[in-house]
Amino acid sequence: MLAVQSGGQAINSTNDFLSGVIAKCIAENEADYFLSFSAPPAMHPDEYHGLKITVDRPGAIARTRTGYYSEP
């Protein structure tokens, strides 16, 4: 759960660790982008804001955090 919520991915139950999984992780990180924004101040302490990033490119995957907590 932590991996998914932080924008990563979990690797479970595989015997193909060194050749397949690591190679896939390296290939997926050949290109990346950083997005930022200025959020308005929170109205309440520990106010949660969900995030959703979409990509308009076939085969592209956006891995991001699922949200953040803001403070007034």
Question: What are 35-72's pLDDT values in tens digits?
Answer: 888 888 888 888 888 888 888 989 887 878 888 888 77
Q: What pLDDT is stored for residue 16 in this prediction?
A: 62
* Separation between Cα atoms, residue 72 and residue 41, nearest integer Å: 5
pLDDT in tens, 11-35: 666 666 566 777 777 777 777 777 8
> Where does the pLDDT of residue 4 fall: very low under 50, low under 70, confident under 90, or very high at 90 and above?
low
> Where does the pLDDT of residue 3 fall: very low under 50, low under 70, confident under 90, or very high at 90 and above?
low
* Separation between Cα atoms, residue 67 and residue 70, nearest integer Å: 10
Going from N- to C-terminal start, the domains of the chain cover: 1-72
pTM: 0.52
Element (H, E) at 70: strand 67-70
